[in-house]
């Protein structure tokens, strides 16, 4: 869930592997 939150915030700290 953390990855999704980061992506939703607009941060590219983690790759969009979730989507």
Tell me the per-residue pLDDT of 1-19, one tens digit each, with 9 for 90 and over.
Answer: 555 665 666 666 666 666 5
Pull the structure tokens for residue 13: 């700290």
Residue among 1, 5, 7 at smallest CA distance from 16: 7
pLDDT of residue 18: 61
Integer Cα distance of 1 and 19 in angstroms? 11
Pull the structure tokens for residue 1: 């869930």
Is this prediction's pTM over 0.85? Answer: no
pLDDT of residue 16: 60
For 5, the 3-state DSSP assignment is: helix
For 11, the 3-state DSSP assignment is: coil
């Amino acid at each position: 869930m953390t990855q999704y939150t980061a992506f939703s915030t607009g941060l590219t700290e983690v790759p969009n592997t979730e989507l």
